Amino acid sequence: MGEFISLLFLLGVVGAAVGAATNYMAIKMLFRPYKPIYFKKWKLPLTPGLIPKRREDLAIQLGKTVSEYLLTPETIKKKFLSEEIRTNVLTYAQNKVAQEVFTNEKTINDWIHLAGFTQLPQSVEGKVNDIIHTQFISVKNTLSTKSIRELLPDDLEPVLDRKIDEAVIQILKKGEDYFSSPEGTMTIKNMLDDFLSTKGSFGGMIQMFLGDSSSLVDKVQRELIKFLQAPGTASLLHRIFIAEWEKIKNRPAMDFMNDVNFDTIEANVQSYAKNALALETRLDKTINDYWPKGKEWATNDLLPKIMDKAFLAAEGKLEDVLKRLNLAGVVREQVDSFPIAKLEELVLGIISKELKLITWLGGIIGGLVGIIQALIVFMTN
């Protein structure tokens, strides 16, 4: 009986050790060895381990699984482009716009400083002054180098030429009215008296011959009116005006502006522009000051439309984006580049308890097999 117990114990222990060791080696051989082992040119069977050996197939299969079953367009649409997600994103955007943009705590100047522009008003005023200065230089150069004829618009020059005829008629009419008036009569009389008084005795003889200067005034007045009404007078004035006008048109415009102080005008224009812009004052206000209804429009009209278009665009482009991303290839590359030792550590860290149970289970089964063998040996002997 003692021999039977010894045999039973021995075979049970040996079976348990063999079973536990077998399961332990099987688990280890999932990962170990990481690389094939060679004896000269002969490779040791079952090296490398199962996962290192089938690593490429595993990577390909994982890539297909992720792209075909896990991260499909339908799955992403369901999880990330659902109505609930859209509502949450819209609410978040509306709150942010209301709190950050349409707030009375930040002026436009504050937003400009956040963008990195600390001297914007001074920079803008400097640019405006430079533009005005450049324009004045250009104007002066143009006035100095071009004639009035060149500066006149094509449709304006004929109009001005026609105005000469109207000017001649107006001048003659005004002259006729003036010399026919009492004021004109008095002017003629004064001119005749001044003329005769400067001629000494000759002037006195003329006055004695013609009598009182009043009769002479009437004669001169009639002759002046006849002269103004004569067709030749209008033609003469017209020719004189046309000739002078042609001379004027051929002269540089700057010839008529020698007394104009352009520097003073430029400084006044720059000062006016600065006062009209008033950038410091304008930028020291909030967006609400310039756009009181902006918050309501942005949150209730603009953002919902933007979200609708963004989600529609995302849905339309999702399948194409996933194809371009080539998720299967990405997963395969990542699995191929993942260290086997790290993968082993990760897997064993997750299921270490289960693997220990499997090892113990192998020992138990091996022990039971040893005990059964001992019983069979005992019964047959």
- SS3 for the chain is CHHHHHHHHHHHHHHHHHHHHHHHHHHHCCCCCCCCCEECCEECCCCCCHHHHCHHHHHHHHHHHHHHHHCCHHHHHHHHCCHHHHHHHHHHHHHHHHHHHCCCCCCHHHHHHHCCCCCHHHHHHHHHHHHHHHHHHHHHHHHHHCEHHHHCCCCCHHHHHHHHHHHHHHHHHHHHHHHHCHHHHHHHHHHHHHHHHCCCHHHHHHHHHHCCHHHHHHHHHHHHHHHHHCHHHHHHHHHHHHHHHHHHHHCEHHHHCCCCCHHHHHHHHHHHHHHHHCHHHHHCCCHHHHCCCHHHHHHHHHHHHHHHHHHHHHHHHHHHHHHHHCHHHHHHHHHHHCCHHHHHHHHHHHHHHHHHHHHHHHHHHHHHHHHHHHHHHHHHC
Vertex 57: Cα angle to 56 and 63 (nearest 5): 90
Q: How confident is the model at residue 381 (pLDDT cuts 50, 70, 90)?
A: low
Task: Quote the pLDDT of residue 63.
Answer: 79
| pLDDT over threshold 70, residue 213 | no
pLDDT (tens digit per residue) in 61-73: 877 887 777 778 7
| pLDDT over threshold 70, residue 195 | no
Contact predicate 138/252, CB 8 Å: no
Contact predicate 371/8, CB 8 Å: yes
Contact predicate 19/362, CB 8 Å: yes
pLDDT (tens digit per residue) in 227-238: 888 888 888 888
- Listed by start position, the domains of the chain span 2-82+314-380, 147-251
pLDDT (tens digit per residue) in 294-315: 888 888 898 899 988 988 888 8
| pLDDT over threshold 60, residue 207 | no
pLDDT (tens digit per residue) in 314-341: 888 887 887 887 877 887 787 777 777 7
Q: How confident is the model at residue 268 (pLDDT cuts 50, 70, 90)?
A: very high
How much is the mean pLDDT over the chain?
80
CA torsion sign for 229, 231, 235, 238 is positive
CA dist 18 and 247 (Å) reads 126
Task: Quote the pLDDT of residue 214.
Answer: 61
- The average pLDDT across 32-41 equals 76
| pLDDT over threshold 70, residue 255 | yes
Task: Quote the pLDDT of residue 215.
Answer: 64
- The average pLDDT across 196-219 equals 58
Please give the model's pTM, rounded to 2 decimal places. Answer: 0.48
Bridge partners, 38 (sequence order): 43
Select, from the ranges 121-125, 156-160, 330-334, the one with the highest average predicted confidence (pLDDT): 121-125
